[in-house]
Amino acid sequence: MTALTDVRPEPADPAWRPPPGSRRPALWLLRQAAHRTDMPPLGELDAAERTRAARFVHAPDSALYAVAHVALRRVLAAYLRISPADVRFARDSCPSCGGPHGRPVLDGASPRTLHFSLSHSPGLVLIAVAEAPVGVDVERVRSSEAAAILVPSLHPAERAELARLPDEQLPMAVCCLWTRKEAYLKGIGTGLCRELDADCLGERAGVEGPAGWTVRNVHCGPGQRSHAAAVALPAAAPEPVLGLLPDLYAYAAPAVHELGGLSAPTAPAGRTGR
């Protein structure tokens, strides 16, 4: 596994658009205050998204969901050269059963060669856009008790790797492992329908990861101590780059985002390591 470290996104440029023909997978990180309750412009969401946002019991959860989906639409709109409200989504076929509940995909006239993935956890939103199937996950580090509950369901090699760690390192290690696992499962399209112990996503030297895929840790910037994140891409895909969205990206006036409103993710993954 390879870690994305020392990534330094460029300052925000409201006029930036992804260059035509760009083939580098791009990751976009957005910070969201964990207790923020005000909503972004809901007119950019479709009816199903607005209904889902309204169903959350706690206002910060509703705001985080809405912010994540508005940001996703604005990022994809910049690539597609359309308005965020015109982005249409569908579901791919499930690779396990063939049912119409697989990974989210672009629908209609949008190019099906553009793939995306979205994840959010209190405090952070992570978006990926690529020309190949991609999965991302970001999670807030849980308590030692919560981490211990998850361990028995993991792959034997993952459990062995975690067993070598001192107790105080377990919460972060389990969180990192979980994000790698969920990013990979989202990448292959099964999500959590696949057994958690079916694949090894550990980082110990000599342990083989899933064939044909590269799973990388993603540096969470200011949230690095409280969150973990990962991205999964086919092994043949170019190395991804990471960009930092402005904190108010989903709240700014929609007109700004007709030109993209993104900071160009020109910074490559820095040092590689474990």
pLDDT at residue number 134: 95
Exposed e or buried b per residue across 84-119, where buried means at least 16 C-beta atoms within 10 angstroms of its C-beta: beebebeeeebeeeeeeebbebbeeebeeeebbbbb
Q: Would 115 be classed as within a structural domain?
A: yes
Nearest to 215 by CA among 25, 6, 23: 25
Q: Would 273 be classed as within a structural domain?
A: no
Considering the entire predicted model, what is its pTM?
A: 0.85
Cα gap 53→163, rounded to integer Å: 39
Q: Would 264 be classed as within a structural domain?
A: no
Q: Would 120 be classed as within a structural domain?
A: yes
Cα gap 76→128, rounded to integer Å: 10
Cα gap 118→223, rounded to integer Å: 17
Residue 218: domain span: 2-259
**How many structural domains compose the chain?**
1
pLDDT at residue number 112: 58
CATH code where residue 128 lies? 3.90.470.20
pLDDT at residue 257 is higher than 50: no
pLDDT at residue 24 is higher than 90: no
Q: Would 265 be classed as within a structural domain?
A: no
pLDDT at residue 38 is higher than 90: yes
- The mean pLDDT of the chain is 81
Residues of the chain above pLDDT 90, percent = 43
Least confident of 139-143, 193-197, 201-205, 253-257: 253-257
Which carries the bigger pLDDT value, residue 97 or residue 78? 78
Q: Would 201 be classed as within a structural domain?
A: yes
Q: Would 230 be classed as within a structural domain?
A: yes
Residues of the chain above pLDDT 70, percent = 81
Q: Would 156 be classed as within a structural domain?
A: yes
Q: Rounded mean pLDDT of 105-128?
A: 85
